[in-house]
Amino acid sequence: MKYKAIIFDLDGVICHTDKYHYLAWKQVADRLGIYFDEEINNRLRGVSRMESLEIVLERCEKILSHEEKLSIADEKNEIYKNLLKDMSPADVSKEVMDTLTSLKNSGILLGIGSSSKNAKLILSKIGLQEFFDAISDGIGLAHSKPNPEVFVKCAQMLNIDPTDCLVIEDAIVGVQAAKAAKMDSVAVGDAAKQDIATYKMECFTELIALV
Ligand code: BG6
Ligand code: MG
């Protein structure tokens, strides 16, 4: 095998919680009278909650205090968590689940590298909290993607050299973070619109042939 470990981003790769991030930010932006659309939302992929808020606020005319910003971020997270509440193992497609199972059976290590502080909550809802060999998430993360920290931490947890890891990402900043961590990457979804990753993938099952 070409790699010893695969590190998956969560939102927009393993499950489609990216659509819930969009809906939650849209609701907050609408309440504040700020224009927000899916193109702006693509810039929030992979970046932390507070950095996402700063991007949303680029179109806000009012100057907000740090406390006001924290309160808006909390409001978004409450809406987001409410959208997550009915998630279940059925939210992982058959294609993703079959591919993950086949990779696991092949003996390659599998990790999660997500900027989200809700990553473990989501993984438990979709029944995958025990499935991965390491979970590196947004809790305690000093720098979010494109900084390599989240992936470097995951490689350390797996006890694997970064150059032996392959990252799967839907965020452009996530692909940049993988590169900064000296890891090869596979772009899916929004990130696959650009030629920055080592590979592009349209269908999850293609991963079996890449590793
Ligand atoms: C990433 C998402 O996975 O997590 C971003 O792509 C999001 O859009 C970030 O802002 C932080 O998520 P959370 O759940 O901690 O607010
Ligand atoms: Mg993502």
- Mind listing the pLDDT tens digit for each residue in 139-167? 999 999 999 999 999 999 999 999 999 99
What is this structure's pTM? 0.97
Ligand 1 site, CB within 6 A: 10-11, 21, 44-49, 52, 77, 114-118, 138, 171
Residues with CB under 5 A from ligand 2 (ion): 9, 11-12, 170-171
Ligand 1, residues 48, 112, 122, 175: which to mutate, most atoms within 8 A of Cβ? 48
Q: Find, among 62, 53, 49, 46, the residue nearest to 29 by Cα.
A: 53
Of the candidates 11, 170, 184, 190, the residue annotated as catalytic is 11
11 annotated active-site: yes
Nearest-CA residue for ligand 1 atom 8 is 45
Confidence of residue 1 (pLDDT cuts 50, 70, 90): confident
Average pLDDT over residues 120-136: 98
Number of C-beta neighbours around residue 89 at 10 A: 11
H or E element, residue 74 = helix 66-84
Average pLDDT over residues 36-41: 97
CB 166 within 8 A of CB 177: no
CB 133 within 8 A of CB 158: yes
Q: In degrees, to the nearest 5, what angle opens at C-alpha 58 toward C-alphas 14 and 68?
A: 90
184 annotated active-site: no
CB 111 within 8 A of CB 7: yes
Closest ligand 1 atom to 51 CA: 10
